[in-house]
């Protein structure tokens, strides 16, 4: 039977701005996504396959690894939902076996579940070539979640709207980071709800400071690609402040209000020598940007990260 195994890479948000809210309640964003050399393993085995009603398909899902006990291994899992969505779009009935080895924490802002779903879509697209038109795959992905389209072709990119506008960003491979997660899963919906409450309580903002527009993802991509060459920081002392300026995440304050451990981990990464710190997605994973991978690895080794806190040195990938 045809089998395909893929890596489903995690991602980090190198800055995230909320740009609005649609009438349907979805928030629009502007963010810089980068895949990491950390990922789940997704194995898809295709059994019988024939034209027909996809509702008659049989999908067996096995989940193991990091946090597997807390994840559903049924049709509600995003990986299984991705398989069903693909088969519906293809007008096929099939028997599938999906084996999911988790290495990325769930509910961590690293896109693990979304990447798993995209890996299933990519695997089925290769196992049953032409069953779904290439132009239809992004729509299927977006129906599953805002981050899923990015993972169809994981490479550094500026992502806007509700995840449907993806523009590749060059020169961002090899960025050395230390990730830290408090061992607490944060609900994306809860973090956005906290953001809405904070935004509603604020008075209309006054004029912005007269400083360069250093907080947008486009500026972040240019700044980071210029200051890191071959995975090492090549900037001056003044450039350190520029790195800090570009890692703005609008969801940090509401996430930290729900999970105070976030602030403590950010402080620890700074004390361990990070050039700058930030939070990925809606949390709860935070990260520090270091001058080299060696320094990121040394920081993780020196830091105090007792279970259930999870920490790891990683680099961003030019493509995955």
Residue 127's H or E segment, with its range, is helix 112-127
Q: Measure the CA–CA gap between 56 and 88, rounded to whole angstroms.
A: 10
Q: Measure the CA–CA gap between 144 and 125, rounded to whole angstroms.
A: 16
End-to-end CA distance of the chain: 26
The verdict on whether 102 is a catalytic residue reads: no
The verdict on whether 147 is a catalytic residue reads: yes
Cβ 67 vs Cβ 54: under 8 Å: no
User: Got the DSSP string for 39-85?
Assistant: EEEEEEEEEEEEES-GGG-EEEEEEEETTGGGS--STTSHHHHHHHH
Residue 29's H or E segment, with its range, is strand 27-51
Alpha helices in 172-302 (DSSP H): 188-201, 217-227, 237-246, 252-258, 261-271, 293-302
Cβ 300 vs Cβ 293: under 8 Å: no
Exactly one of 11, 30, 102, 116 is catalytic; name it: 11
What is the bridge-based pairing of β-strands 27-51 and 92-102?
Answer: antiparallel
Q: Measure the CA–CA gap between 187 and 173, rounded to whole angstroms.
A: 29
Cis peptide before 308 (omega within 30 of 0): yes
Exactly one of 53, 147, 190, 237 is catalytic; name it: 147
Catalytic machinery residues: 11, 147
């Amino acid at each position: 039977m045809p089998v395909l195994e893929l890596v489903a890479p995690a991602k980090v948000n190198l800055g995230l701005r909320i740009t609005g809210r649609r009438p349907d309640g979805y928030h629009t964003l502007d963010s810089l996504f980068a895949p990491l050399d950390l990922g789940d393993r997704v194995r898809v085995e295709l059994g019988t396959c024939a034209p027909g009603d996809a509702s008659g398909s049989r999908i067996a899902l096995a989940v193991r690894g990091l946090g597997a006990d807390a994840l559903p291994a049924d049709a509600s899992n995003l990986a299984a939902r991705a398989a069903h969505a693909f088969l519906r779009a293809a007008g096929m009935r099939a028997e599938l076996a999906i084996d999911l080895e988790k290495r990325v924490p769930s509910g961590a802002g690293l896109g693990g579940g979304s990447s798993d779903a995209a890996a299933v879509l990519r695997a089925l697209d290769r196992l049953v070539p032409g069953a779904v038109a290439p132009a239809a795959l992004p729509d299927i992905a977006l129906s599953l979640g805002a981050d899923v389209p990015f993972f169809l072709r994981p490479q550094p990119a500026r992502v806007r709207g509700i995840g449907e506008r993806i523009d590749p960003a060059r020169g961002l491979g090899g960025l050395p980071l230390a990730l830290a997660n408090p061992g607490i899963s944060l609900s994306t919906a809860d973090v956005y709800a906290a953001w809405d409450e904070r935004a509603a309580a604020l008075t209309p903002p006054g004029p912005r400071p007269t400083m360069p527009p250093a907080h947008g993802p486009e500026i972040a991509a240019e700044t980071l690609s210029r200051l890191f060459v071959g995975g090492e920081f090549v900037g001056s002392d003044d450039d350190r402040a520029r790195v800090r300026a570009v890692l703005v995440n609008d969801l940090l304050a509401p996430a930290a209000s729900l999970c105070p451990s976030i602030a403590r981990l950010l402080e620890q990464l700074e004390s361990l020598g990070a050039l700058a710190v930030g939070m990925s997605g809606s949390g709860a994973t935070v990260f520090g940007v270091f001058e080299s991978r060696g320094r990121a690895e040394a920081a993780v080794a020196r830091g105090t990260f007792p279970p259930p806190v999870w920490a790891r040195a990683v680099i961003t990938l030019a493509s995955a």
